[in-house]
Amino acid sequence: MAEPVAFASDDWFRTAQEKLQTDEVFKEASADWEGCVRCIIDCEDEEALKDYSTDYGIKGFVGMLGMLPKEERLKYKGTGLDKLAGKLGYSLDDEPGTFDVAAAAKKATELTIDDFKDCIVYASWWSDRGTLKEMAPLPPDKYEDAPFALWGKYSAWKQLCTGEQTAIQLIMGGKMKLEGNLKYIMKHMAAMNQLAEVYKSIPLK
Amino acid sequence: MYFEIDSLVRNNQEISMWKSELHRFAEEVLRPASFELDRMDAKATGAKDSPYFEVIRKGKKNGYHRLLIPDEYGGTMIGPLEFNIWCEELGWGSVGLATSIIEGLFPAAAASIIGSPQVIDEVVRPWMEDEGDKYDGCWTVMDPDRGSDYIMSFNDPDPASFGTEGFLKADRDGDGWVLNGVKSYWTGCAPVATWALAHPMLPPHEGPHQLGAAVVPLNLPGVTQSPPIDKVGMRDHPQGELIFENVKIPNHYMIAQAPEFGTILARLIISLTSCHMGGAFIGLARAAFEEALKYCNERVQGKALIVEHQLTRYRLYNMFEKIETARAFLRAVTRNVFEEVFQNRTFNPSVAHALAAQTYSKNIAFEVAHDALQLHGGAGILKEMPIEKFFRDARPGLIMDGTSEILALEAAADMLDEELYTVD
């Protein structure tokens, strides 16, 4: 059994990448899929507040930002994410390894939902005919013209990645919104379902 | 009964037992209640002391309301073959009551597929626990000024051209929703249901393609249920109008609230209902055929049993051919729909095939019932003869869930768009 990781952390992204690159079922299910999905994770959400009030949540959040090259990370300057990071004592200019998690954890106990206002994280899921091309955090302006965009609150993404709800249930229930060619997506639901299965297999802290 | 050509049924003891148990229920419970309800005043069929509710209670005792609900919620998810047999045998007993029993579980079944955990707790679990007549469901699609043409909007390149007037509409109301409008008087089970799976037009109300789905308790303020309408056939299936005046529901009861998914939702529903309607009407066709066969083996004309007449034999053969073809086709289609919807959750069944199976089954049910009545000669029009009722019951099938012609046009659009056949 793999070590549990914080949701949407650098460890989570890396584990998911490794699994998707080696999962034969996913390869087969996504053999006809082409195109990037721009994932929009709205963190103004009680579940995000809960997760980012823990030391592993903060470490994972900063670690995830550290996956971005500095010039891309700086594109979050002035956004809600930048403000939240600031509250935790982290500057987007800082290298993630220099970050004091223990000090941030103390500050995190004072966070409220208001501190998450307009805090949005962008990520990619890009598979090309059975091969995972990219799955990583994104700067806000990258892939704005991606053929698909999927928006959801942090808790909805977590429900999807833990298998609590399927993408269809979340979209139908209005908890996620999808932009792009719906017919194409419906034809590739097997790939979407297997993607969710892979995410579900990653144990979360 | 009949020789089962499908070895998957014939050689499987469990499925064979399922079939014979269902047949017994259809013969002992549905058939007598169906004939009694057929002769009753339409309004009385929906009264609490009507035989209708006795059938519903007995069906629930057999656990029919738990079929199609995933095992994780305490259901008994059956496979496509068991589903086909269920629909056909119930349809043999009564196509009207079969429709009621199956449509009754639509709100809970839909909530179990696409609903949130909250709606599962509040709707699905109480439904599962009910073994009486505390809960009963209905499924309401059509709006009064919109007939089958409404279905055509799903494949139309400009669905907004179908207009927005005369539709049940949903609007945001704080954290929840408010419903206003009317659902047509031919809504199945509407007069007797406690829950509706209702399809309103979602904001921004641009056209019928912005279809939503809501589970609506019918005891909410603002809901009016009409008494059952009086009609030519399927008189044991209470149909009526639902009026929604400022009916407020919580957000999680709107189980499908993504207007961009309306068309996909509609096509998914139409595929599932095609399997159920197809099966129930094949059951009716079989019932009519068996009546004709029995009569032809009893009635003497020209010094011989009429079954010995060449034209009769030809006619009986044609009926047999239609029923067997419809059943084999529908079973293949149902397997596809179940794989796509329940098993793989890929939600991409072949709509053209599903609609073709539905229209074919309903069309042949009417043709077989017509021929069966014809074989009865003058006896066929006597009220005391079962074939007279079967013939009347077959007629609404050519209209309900969309007229056969419109369903065929929709299937044609799908068949061509999806390039199910290509020219090399």
Model confidence pLDDT, tens digit, residues A118-155: 999 999 999 999 999 999 999 999 999 999 999 999 99
CA distance B347 to A168: 9
A164–B117 CB contact, under 8 Å: yes
CA distance A202 to A121: 20
* C-beta of residue B125 within 8 angstroms of C-beta of residue B165: no
Asked if the B262-417 domain carries CATH number 3.40.50.2300, the reply is no
Domain segments of chain B: what residues? 7-129, 137-258, 262-417
State the DSSP H helix or E strand holding residue B83, giving kind and residue range, or none if neither.
helix B80-93
Q: Which residues contact B298 (CB under 8 A, 6 or more apart)?
A: B305
Selecting from 2.40.110.10, 3.30.470.10, 2.60.40.10, 1.10.10.10, what CATH number does the domain B137-258 have? Answer: 2.40.110.10
Q: Which two tokens stand for residue A65?
A: 């930002």
* Complex ipTM: 0.72
Provide the 10 A C-beta neighbour count for residue A163. 12
A25 touches chain B (CB under 8 A): no
State the DSSP H helix or E strand holding residue B186, giving kind and residue range, or none if neither.
strand B176-188
pTM equals: 0.89
Q: Is the pLDDT confidence value at B126 over 80?
A: yes
User: Which residues of chain A lie closer than 8 angstroms to B114, CB-CB?
Assistant: 168-169, 172-173
Closest residue in B to A176 (Cα–Cα):
B258
Q: What is the mean pLDDT of residues B299-314?
A: 96
Q: Model confidence over A12-36: pLDDT tens digits? A: 999 999 999 999 999 999 999 999 9
Q: Could you tell me the domains of chain A? A: 10-200 (3.30.1050.10)
Distance from CA of A99 to the nearest CA of B (A): 39
Distance from CA of A174 to the nearest CA of B (A): 5
Question: Measured at the alpha carbon of residue B173, what is the angle toward residues B170 and B174, in degrees to the nearest 5?
Answer: 150
CA distance B193 to B183: 14
For residue A1, what pLDDT is reported?
62
For residue A184, what pLDDT is reported?
86
A173–B115 CB contact, under 8 Å: yes
CA distance B126 to B239: 24
Chosen for mutation from A148, A166, A168, A183 (greatest number of chain B CBs closer than 10 Å) is A168
B7-129: CATH topology is Butyryl-Coa Dehydrogenase, subunit A; domain 1 (1.10.540)
Q: Model confidence over A146-205: pLDDT tens digits? A: 999 999 999 999 999 998 888 888 988 889 998 988 878 888 888 988 999 999 999 998
Pairing of strands A34-42, A148-153: parallel
Beta strands in A139-181 (DSSP E): 148-153, 176-179
A193–B260 CB contact, under 8 Å: no
Which has the higher per-residue pLDDT, B272 or B419?
B272
Residues in chain A: 205
